Every structure is written in C-alpha cells, then in structure tokens.
Structure 1
Amino acid sequence: MAANPFLASETRDEEDAALAASAARGDREALEALIRRYQAWIYNLAVRMILNPQDAQELTQEALLRIITRIAQFEGRSSFRTWAYRIVTNCFLDAKRGQLEGFITSFDDYGRDLDAIPMAALTLTADQEPDRALIVEEAKLGCMLGMLLCLSREQRIVYTLGDIFEAPSKIAAEILGLSAVNFRQKLTRARRDLISFMQDKCGLINQANPCRCDRKAAGFRQAGWLEPDRLKFAGRHLQRIKGKVAAESAPLDDFVEEAYARLFRDHPMQEPLAEGGTQAILSDLLDSPEYKRIFDLP
C-alpha cells in the first residue's frame, strides 16, 4: 500500500508535480507511477462512501479516468494531491446513489435495523471455524461502514479525510473547497452524530449496550450482509485481528473522539477486487479509448 498521500512531504509534492508534467506530455510510465501512488487510497475512500466493493471499484475507475483526462490542466498552483483529490471528491459527491445508500438512510433507521437482528451464537462449518475471528471482524467492519452511510455524503468525505485518513484540516479544506474553520465545523458535526449513535448502540464503545459483533454475526449472515466464505472487508489479517480483539473488547466507557476515530482508522486498507486487482484497474485505464484519444495514441 502506498504511503498516506494526505501526510505527504513537500518532496513528495515535487515528485508528483514532475510526474504529472511528464504524464501530460504522454509519458505512460510517469502516469502509471502517479496513479499507483493514489489509486489504493481513492478506492478506500470509495469503499467508505458506498460500502459495496464492486461499486467502489467502478467509482474508483471513473475518478481515475477523470484525473487522467484532465492531467494536462494541472498547472501546479496547488499540490497534485490537492488537485487530484478535488476531482475525486467531486466525482464521488456527484455519483449515482449506490444500492446500499438507498437502504441505509439515517442513524434512526439503521439503529432499528440493528435492533431487529437477533443475538445468537455463530455456527460455522469445520472449514470455516479456523477463521472465526476473521468472520466476526468482517461483521464488525461491515456494521461500522454501515454507520458511515448514515452520514450525508459530504459528512462521510469530511469524516474520512479528517479522522480516518488523518488529513490536516488545511489540506482537507483545500480539497473540498472550504475554509479550514468551515471544515473543522463540519467534521465536529459528523463526529457528534457518529459518536452519539455509537455511544447509544455499539458494544465496542459502551459495554452497557447489548450489541456484540460475535453475537450479531449470525443474524448478519441470515440477512445476507455477511458471507463467511466471501469476506469483503476483513482480508487475511487474522494475526493482526487476534491482537486487536483483546484490546478493543476492554471497557471503553471513557473513550474520547480520538478513540472513536481509531476504530474506523484501524480497518484494514482494502485492495481492489481480486480479478486482476490494482493492476487490472490501471491497465484498463491506460488501454482505454479515452486515454488513447487524449494523447493521440494508436
């Protein structure tokens, strides 16, 4: 996974600018290097925007294509990072609503849906049992990503940039075309809404809440939200998860805002879908008619 672009140094910005200038002249290797730096983070922003990995991959391709087709317009007045993510966030804000966005519409509705999921022991096959911790983690990740869908699209981007990806408020504000003060105000409101819901519903945050990931996983599977043999979010991070579970299951009544954000930030970074993965997205983009048309390639 490429380094966090939101915490990049000035040297990284200079490298990006040089690569962008070469890419604008038709240098495919420079363009490929530049896209590789950003595509995984763009995909992970897309996952947090619309939850469904397949839809997120398509949205990522659309955003990357917009960057590629406009790269000659980059004039270096801001960092490439800011310029590119402004295109990405506008693409995400303008995108057609995903299926899950129509299903998860508010914290109140989501809370009622969670309450309706029965608490039960998770029964697994012999083949699945060794991955029990991963499967429970999948339930937790999916549920928490569902919480993000309760935020408006703008709030989701603000919260993801500010608290999950740890973008400094000045950079995040530039990306979204806001003042730093306005960005911090919007981030505060998004935190407040999310924290209020988690404090009232989530057993990870408040032990007085009955909801437990391992007891909800069976209901998630029955509702079709969890497929033990096709994990979407947990990946193959079993050893890492074993250490996390012990720490995160301790009493968390006194968690502050940073701890709420850390729960989301600790989600494993997602790789684009398995068929070809990252390389497939890049190859499709660089072989697309739009790319060849822009650079007058045969």
Structure 2
Amino acid sequence: MAGICEGRVAVVTGAGRGLGRAHALEFARQGAKVVVNDLGVGPDGRDGSDAPAQEVVAEIAKAGGEAVADHHDIATWDGAAGLVRTALDAFGQLDVLVNNAGFLRDRMLVNLSEQDWDDVVRVHLKGHFLTLRHAGAHWRDQYKFGNLNDARVVNTSSGAGLLGSVGQGNYAAAKAGIAALTIQAAAELGRYGVTVNAIAPAARTRMTEGPFSSMMAAPDSGFDAMAPENVSPLVVWLGSDRSRAVSGRVFEVEGGRIGVADGWQHGPTVDKGARWEPAELDAVVAGLIEQAPVPGAVYGA
C-alpha cells in the first residue's frame, strides 16, 4: 500500500535527531523522498558534525527509501538557498518544507546575554523566514511558469511561544514570531498553491532534557506519550495532498492528543466615541478584563 506522500519531495531541517529525525523517517515511510538537513550541533547550537544527517539518510536507505543529506546553515541567506537547491538538484522538485531546526540558550531575562538572545532568535525565527523566502520564491516562479503547485510548509512553534515559558524568553519570543509568521505566510503564499501551518509539539528530545525532564520521562510500560515519533503523523499529514484545505493554523500535539491553538483575536471592546480621560479607564479596563477569557498559564510560572 502506497503511503500518503508517495512521489513527494520533503525537506526537513534539523533532521539528524529528535523530532526532525522522526519526521524524516515517517515521510520516507509514507513514500516521500527526503532531504535531511542538519548541522549536527549540540543542544546549545555548538560543535557541529555531519554524522547525524548521514546516519538518518542511511537508515532511510536501509528501509528502501530515498534521501540525501544536506549540511547548509539555514539561518544564512546562502545556506537557505542552498537547501532548496539540494532538493531540486537531487530530486527535481520541492513539495514540502518542514522547518524544525533549533537550539536553546535558557536563562532568566535578567541573566540573558545579547549573544544568547541573538543566536536563538537567529536559528529559530530567521531560519524559518529564510527557508520560507527561498522555497516560496521557487513556488512563485513555478506558478508564473504555469506549473501548478500543491506545496506545503510545516513550521515549528512551541507552547512557549503560545503561552510563554519562564527562563526561555529568547526561545518564547522566537516561537511566538514563528506562529505569527505562519499566519502571514499562509495569506501570502496561498495564491501560489502553497499551504503554511505550524505545530506546537511536546515531546522528549535533547531540548527538553533540562527543566522539564521529570515531566518528559518515559513510562515503565504502555504508551509513551512523550516519544517524538508521536508528533510526526500530523506533520506528514500536513505535508500530504490531503491537507490542501488547511492553512494558517497552529496545531498543538502531544502523544495522542491533537488540538488547534486559538491565537490572538479581537476581544471585548468599549468605544466611547471620543478621547478617554486617563482616570476614566479604571472601570473600563477592569470591565474588559472581566469579559475576556483568562490567559493560559505561563509554563514554569
């Protein structure tokens, strides 16, 4: 029986370990040809190696699939462009872009350095933008040439980006930006036959081994809700032609649970029809907050 991504070409960034590896393997199992992008860095983004990507490629080949390794730095303009070229040179097309690469530099805000802020925002938010920019330009050109796209982008946000996470201000800000970028890109790229969605996953990976390790422990028996492989079926479905009608959404996924995140929307409003006096706003703001939904709790608060 053919998989739901038979004949498609999928690029997965950060695919050497963890969630990215699970996504790459599942895309291959579902019939896709896979570009396995990874710099092989540690959880903090340092000390790279080609080995992780090569190992995933070998695993896919052993199972009878097709894959190539890519070691471009997707947080650089030329690196993101090179990643798209890898897919086109190796397989002649690009149908799916899964943005997954990232690392952590966790600190409380008052201890967070400028470099740690810049590095995390660079790899997560800028890395998503650059791959979207170059893949999107390719799909726009295909559209202009009269070739109909049926393309997919799956971005990776986080519960930290949706609700905040104590000690992860840089990461939370980047992931919130990715959620907003997803909605923006869906609106702009839809005309070219491209859908753009995001996931906010919870799984046991190298990036969650620190403060959340006790919550992420594998059970002694039964279903392992924190296994990264649980997230991949939704990612692969979003990368298939079956998801054509879904775009601009952020999905939360953990174990066997899938939900649609409800982001910023217009809430309760009061209109005086004239300029307010500051002293009037005590009761006005209190009334608005009373009518508005209570925000979800910040992780770690």
User: Which category of TM-score, normalised to the shorter sequence, fits these structures?
Assistant: under 0.3
Greater relative CO (CA pairs within 8 A, separation 6+): 1
Question: Of Structure 1 and Structure 2, which has the larger fraction of its residues in helix?
Answer: 1
Question: Of Structure 1 and Structure 2, which has the larger fraction of its residues in strand?
Answer: 2
